[in-house]
Amino acid sequence: MSRQVVRSSKFRHVFGQPAKADQCYEDVRVSQTTWDSGFCAVNPKFMALICEASGGGAFLVLPLSKTGRVDKNVPLVCGHTAPVLDIAWCPHNDNVIASGSEDCTVMVWEIPDGGLTLPLREPVVTLEGHTKRVGIVAWHPTAQNVLLSAGCDNVILVWDVGTGVAVLTLGPDVHPDTIYSVDWSRDGALICTSCRDKRVRIIEPRKGTVVAEKDRPHEGTRPVHAVFVSEGKILTTGFSRMSERQVALWDTKHLEEPLSLQELDTSSGVLLPFFDPDTNIVYLCGKGDSSIRYFEITSEAPFLHYLSMFSSKESQRGMGYMPKRGLEVNKCEIARFYKLHERKCEPIAMTVPRKSDLFQEDLYPPTAGPDPALTAEEWLGGRDAGPLLISLKDGYVPPKSRELRVNRGLDSTRRRAAPEASGTPNRDAVSHLEEEMGKLQATVQELQKRLDRLEEMVQAK
């Protein structure tokens, strides 16, 4: 009788632990837009989620510690004139977030420490260049102030946020149809895209050349998502011809056949992959699912190993993924997700069961820190560099807030210097007016309370 050998892995028993009710974010109105993004972005300081808003597009930003029931009048980031489709925190500045919207613009915002006290309507910079809605925004992993956006005009633009200028353009000749996903390589030298024309492409964005491409990585017609994983490989999620969900691993130098192809189930939700380069674990979160599957990637066959699955009762509208810097290393937490329900955001910690309270070096190798390795000019000039790594042994201490400096050019300077001439109030004036309005509203509420008390006294007499 043959005895099956169980593969040894320190991540075999990773388990998901949902946060207690008082550690969730309750009473949030998650966006009802049908778009295949996570709708949520988190970093060591803030949790942001795209929410329903009347009269335009908005998203909510809360400090991580501000859990519990969210006030219905909480201030929002609400500068877009149409629904927001995607948001992404800057990896080099925890106070800066980018948003893409149906109004064809990308906006970059600066969130003050402690969160918003008034609605934020004025972005640091507005990036205009797309002719149709913008569904994907992604920051460069190692170069400062470099942001990528992909729109439904089948165009990818790479922006230098410091100048507000699109420095690279990949036009419809590269992607003839809707772009489903875009992912940077770890050093930011390449991007990996999936498109409605059923092709996955690996592109050198500075040259505008397609380095490699694979036609029909999955036979089905539903959207495909692709991400870079370790050692020059990519991972794709898609559907078979019989509408079964699949996950596949590919060697970028030999895209003829997959290294591994696994069929999962027959659900209809698109699988969003999240890859952790420190542990070589990829997490698959399906929109509309109530589970998170996770796999370990190794350098030897069969390459892609199923580990386990976290399941809950309620389905997810979207998902946010915490960078390694924001985890609790003293609890052996190797990943944390922020699951969006209809009216709630629920943190889920992925933990390796260990008895020791000491720092586990094998679980936490040096990870990407908050400092950029390159300037935008150096990257555009052809330099590449991996992320600057930091140790988590003594815990992560966030650096002081860094101001995002934007040079909008001479014309913008003139407009800011003479706002009266254009009839547009400047940022300071708008902030002052909003502050005064807040004070007036508080005074009105106080007067109303006094009137109510007087009425009660009259009725009592």
| pLDDT recorded at residue 434 | 62
pLDDT band at 238; cut points 50, 70, 90: very high
Specify if 453 maps to a domain.
no
Specify if 347 maps to a domain.
yes
Specify if 237 maps to a domain.
yes
Q: Is the pLDDT of residue 278 over 90?
A: yes
| pLDDT recorded at residue 406 | 74
| pLDDT recorded at residue 362 | 86
Q: What is the mean pLDDT of residues 192-217?
A: 95
Q: What is the mean pLDDT of residues 294-300?
A: 92
| pLDDT recorded at residue 301 | 83
Residue 313 burial (CB < 10 Å; 0-12/13-18/19+)? Answer: exposed
Instruction: Show the tokens assigned to 283.
Output: 């997490």
**CATH assignment of the domain containing 76:** 2.130.10.10
Instruction: Show the tokens assigned to 461.
Output: 């007499």
| pLDDT recorded at residue 185 | 96
Percentage of the chain exceeding pLDDT 90: 70
Between residues 430 and 446, the one the model is more confident about = 446
The sign one gets for the Cα dihedral 190, 402, 388, 278 is: negative
Q: What is the mean pLDDT of residues 136-156?
A: 96
Residue 265: name the closest of 282, 283, 289 by CA.
289
| pLDDT recorded at residue 435 | 64
Specify if 3 maps to a domain.
no
Between residues 107 and 330, the one the model is more confident about = 107
Specify if 272 maps to a domain.
yes
Q: What is the pLDDT of residues 53-83, one digit of tens each?
A: 877 789 999 999 999 999 988 999 999 999 9
- List Cβ neighbours of 275 (8 Å cut-off, separation of 6 or more): 227, 228, 229, 235, 281, 282, 283
Q: What is the pLDDT of residues 163-187, one digit of tens each?
A: 999 999 999 999 999 999 999 999 9
| pLDDT recorded at residue 444 | 67
- The dihedrals phi and psi of 428, each to the nearest 5 degrees, come to -65, -40
pLDDT band at 6; cut points 50, 70, 90: low
Q: How far apart are CA 233 and CA 250, in angstroms?
A: 6
- What's the domain range around 87? 16-379
Q: What is the mean pLDDT of residues 351-369?
A: 88
- 456 three-state secondary structure: helix
pLDDT band at 4; cut points 50, 70, 90: very low
Q: Is the pLDDT of residue 450 over 60?
A: yes
* 45-54, 218-227, 305-314, 445-454: segment of lowest average pLDDT: 445-454
Q: What is the mean pLDDT of residues 131-152?
A: 96
Q: Is the pLDDT of residue 412 over 50?
A: no
pLDDT band at 439; cut points 50, 70, 90: low
* 8-12, 244-248, 280-284: segment of lowest average pLDDT: 8-12
Q: Mean pLDDT score of the chain, rounded to an integer? A: 87
pTM metric for this prediction: 0.85
Q: What is the mean pLDDT of residues 251-269?
A: 91
* 59-73, 144-158, 351-365, 413-427: segment of lowest average pLDDT: 413-427
| pLDDT recorded at residue 112 | 93
Question: Where do the H-state alpha helices sit in 90-145?
Answer: none
Q: How far apart are CA 345 and CA 28, in angstroms?
A: 7
Q: Is the pLDDT of residue 335 over 50?
A: yes
Q: For residues 304 and 259, is the Cβ–Cβ distance under 8 A?
A: yes
Specify if 428 maps to a domain.
no
Q: For residues 61 and 117, is the Cβ–Cβ distance under 8 A?
A: no
The sign one gets for the Cα dihedral 290, 310, 318, 183 is: negative
Beta bridge partners of 158: 148, 168
Q: Is the pLDDT of residue 134 over 80?
A: yes
Number of compact structural domains in the chain? 1
Specify if 5 maps to a domain.
no
Q: What is the mean pLDDT of residues 272-287?
A: 94
Encoded amino acid at 299, one letter: S
Distance (Å) of CA 120 to CA 124, 244, 283, 434: 10, 43, 33, 10
* 292-296, 350-354, 444-448: segment of lowest average pLDDT: 444-448
Between residues 400 and 192, the one the model is more confident about = 192
Specify if 67 maps to a domain.
yes
Q: For residues 70 and 25, is the Cβ–Cβ distance under 8 A?
A: yes
Q: Is the pLDDT of residue 454 over 60?
A: yes
Between residues 454 and 36, the one the model is more confident about = 36
Q: What is the mean pLDDT of residues 121-125?
A: 95
Peptide bond into 302 cis (omega under 30): yes
Q: Is the pLDDT of residue 437 over 90?
A: no
Q: Is the pLDDT of residue 431 over 80?
A: no
Q: What is the pLDDT of residues 76-118, one digit of tens each?
A: 999 999 999 999 999 999 999 999 999 999 999 999 999 999 9
